[in-house]
Structure 1
Amino acid sequence: MKKIIKRDGSFQEFFPYKIRDAIKKAYMSENVEFDEKVFDNVMGAIVFKDKLSVEDIQDLIEKKLFEAGDFAVLKSFMIYRHTHKMQREHILGLEEDTTYINCTQTVNEYISKQDWRILANSNTSYSNAGLINNTAGKVIANYWLDKIYSREEGAAHRNGDYHIHDLDCLTAYCAGWSLRVLLNEGFNGVRGRVESKAPKHFREALYQMANFLGILQSEWAGAQAFSSFDTYLAPYVFRDKLSDDEVKKAIT
């Protein structure tokens, strides 16, 4: 089994996908179609070697990009390599075991719809808000994989051995809330924030519910829900003497 000699002298298992990803990211940073032959040529040059250093592999990537004539991609890879060298030397005050994200590439992948995450959430559309959530989510997802999951688990996800869903939030997933408490007490409980008294009419109750769900949704990763919607709102319909059409209009 091939081993990679890390910069600190320790050995790490060899993962070909990491080489492919590094080359592919260099192409994507220049909006150039990925050339699979470059990856194949790099792998062909190391196929009979049992031990390789990280620097040896990066030198090979640069050599094969040069031979392919992809000079813009080569320049991008060299800049990326130099930047990471600076980070390792703590010139930028960053850590060795942290994934660094190419900002330009991240935005370009979303704008050009190349990022699979655009379709990962059926509740999020392709929009400016989607771009903001996608960009922030990519940072948080890498935090999960770098700092919370083990190195082996993070590598398995990145290698596609399995998929860890919804990595883009550092919060709990779904939640259910007591509609009775909201209707009896109003929307309150957070110091320094605007509060609402208990609603007295049907429309007021609906507005408070919409406000509650909208705010809480931004604090959780998944869906928010109330139970017994019809049971708890029926008294308001009775008190306001609303017709079926009026109820339907208020809800829709």
Structure 2
Amino acid sequence: MINSETFIVKRDGKKEAFSLDKIKNAISKAFLSVGSFATQDVITNILSRVSISDGTSVEDIQNQVEGALMAEHYYAVAKSFMLYRQKHLEDREVRDKLRFLLDYCDASNPATGSKYDANANVENKNVATLIGELPKPNFIRLNRRLLTDRLKDMYGKEVSDRYLELLNNHFIYKNDETSLANYCASITMYPWLIGGTMSVGGNSTAPTNLKSFCGGFINMVFIVSSMLSGACATPEFLMYMNYFVGKEYGEDYYLHPEKVVDLSSRQQTIDKVITDCFEQVVYSINQPTGARNFQAVFWNVAYYDKYYFNSLF
């Protein structure tokens, strides 16, 4: 039953007093768009199939109107009504994107400029960070659809609808809805040591010495991290780096770190070579990258010292 106290929910979540005239006008325009005219009786018959109560969404009302037109066999009118909705949807999305572009340019930093799930780890606002923001609404819709379909299959529509209600009203928070990539991962480096980056889409071969190990490792981490939205852990890094240092300077290299091993005018020691290699890896990985919307790679390594092992054994 429709009365003066009936409120509908608009697309932005705001409530508005229901207006029957708006639906009548929309139906009339749909008929006129196909060269026909909707009499009052025709409109009444269509509206008799539409159920509106307090809190009904605009989308639900329009879906019901489409269904009613089909049920009354006004197929051409229903098609025109659908196309009209789709055009307005596209116009709204373009308008919202243009407004977001202007607001983002005026924002003081990327966090305040972000409309969805601001990334606190991005310091600079530029084209790369802007490009990363644009698809977020689409990713959110896609991720929510994937999850609600799964919930519906497992627990029924009521649970799925309740999940969306709690999400939209901020009672719960779903982490990382704005990306299709996996979040964090801990990887083994062994396949890369054997075959290079070919297995993950790269073109570099397996490392053969300390320098190629460091350079190839950086490439490998960037490739893997471009497929993640969170951290990339390589627990074996120091263990394998130790192998290549030993291959280059002998397995007992740690016994004489001050030994000069560089024949150039710099006369570098083993300790300096290892330090330089480690700095190369750390400084290279901690650079912003376009594949992560100008966010640096989150990189984790693990190390165990003598005192730690003594405490265990």
Q: TM-score range by the shorter chain?
A: 0.5 to 0.7
Are residue 158 (structure 1) and residue 168 (structure 2) matched?
A: yes
Contact map agreement 2:116 2:137 (CA 8 A) in 1: no
* In structure 2, C-alpha distance between the alignment counterparts of 1:16 and 1:137, rounded to whole Å: 18
Are residue 18 (structure 1) and residue 28 (structure 2) matched?
A: no
Correspondence for 1:234 among 242, 245, 259: 242
Contact map agreement 2:6 2:54 (CA 8 A) in 1: yes
Deviations 1:91-139 (A, max 9, x none): 475899xx95721122233223344558732333332211111112232
For 1:89, the equivalent position in structure 2 comes to: 82
Q: What SS is found at the alignment partner of 1:170?
A: coil
Are residue 106 (structure 1) and residue 100 (structure 2) matched?
A: yes
* In structure 1, C-alpha distance between the alignment counterparts of 2:211 and 2:219, rounded to whole Å: 12
Contact map agreement 1:146 1:154 (CA 8 A) in 2: no
For 1:139, the equivalent position in structure 2 comes to: 138
Contact map agreement 2:195 2:205 (CA 8 A) in 1: yes
Are residue 195 (structure 1) and residue 203 (structure 2) matched?
A: yes
For 1:76, the equivalent position in structure 2 comes to: none
* TM norm structure 1: 0.58
Structure 2: which 5+ runs fail to align? 16-52, 59-78, 149-159, 250-260, 262-269, 280-313
Correspondence for 2:118 among 117, 120, 136: 120
For 1:248, the equivalent position in structure 2 comes to: 275
Contact map agreement 2:114 2:133 (CA 8 A) in 1: no
For 2:226, the equivalent position in structure 1 comes to: 218
Deviations 1:148-193 (A, max 9, x none): 3344433432322222121111232111111122112211126xx5
Correspondence for 1:184 among 175, 194, 200: 194
From the superposition, tell whether residues 202 and 18 of structure 1 become closer, same or farther in structure 2 (CA, over 3 Å).
same
Give the RMSD, CA atoms, in angstroms.
3.6
Q: What SS is found at the alignment partner of 2:198?
A: coil
Q: Read off the aligned partner of 1:145 and give its amino acid letter.
A: R
Q: Read off the aligned partner of 2:83 and give its amino acid letter.
A: H
* In structure 2, C-alpha distance between the alignment counterparts of 1:174 and 1:234, rounded to whole Å: 26
| Aligned length, in residue pairs | 180
Deviation for aligned residue 1:140: 0.7
Contact map agreement 2:187 2:232 (CA 8 A) in 1: yes
Deviation for aligned residue 1:200: 0.7
Q: What SS is found at the alignment partner of 1:227?
A: coil
* TM norm structure 2: 0.48
Q: What SS is found at the alignment partner of 1:198?
A: coil
* In structure 1, C-alpha distance between the alignment counterparts of 2:211 and 2:246, rounded to whole Å: 13
Deviation for aligned residue 1:245: 1.1
From the superposition, tell whether residues 112 and 163 of structure 1 become closer, same or farther in structure 2 (CA, over 3 Å).
farther
Q: Read off the aligned partner of 2:138 and give its amino acid letter.
A: V
For 1:25, the equivalent position in structure 2 comes to: none
From the superposition, tell whether residues 123 and 133 of structure 1 become closer, same or farther in structure 2 (CA, over 3 Å).
same
From the superposition, tell whether residues 118 and 158 of structure 1 become closer, same or farther in structure 2 (CA, over 3 Å).
closer
From the superposition, tell whether residues 189 and 16 of structure 1 become closer, same or farther in structure 2 (CA, over 3 Å).
closer
Contact map agreement 1:157 1:163 (CA 8 A) in 2: yes
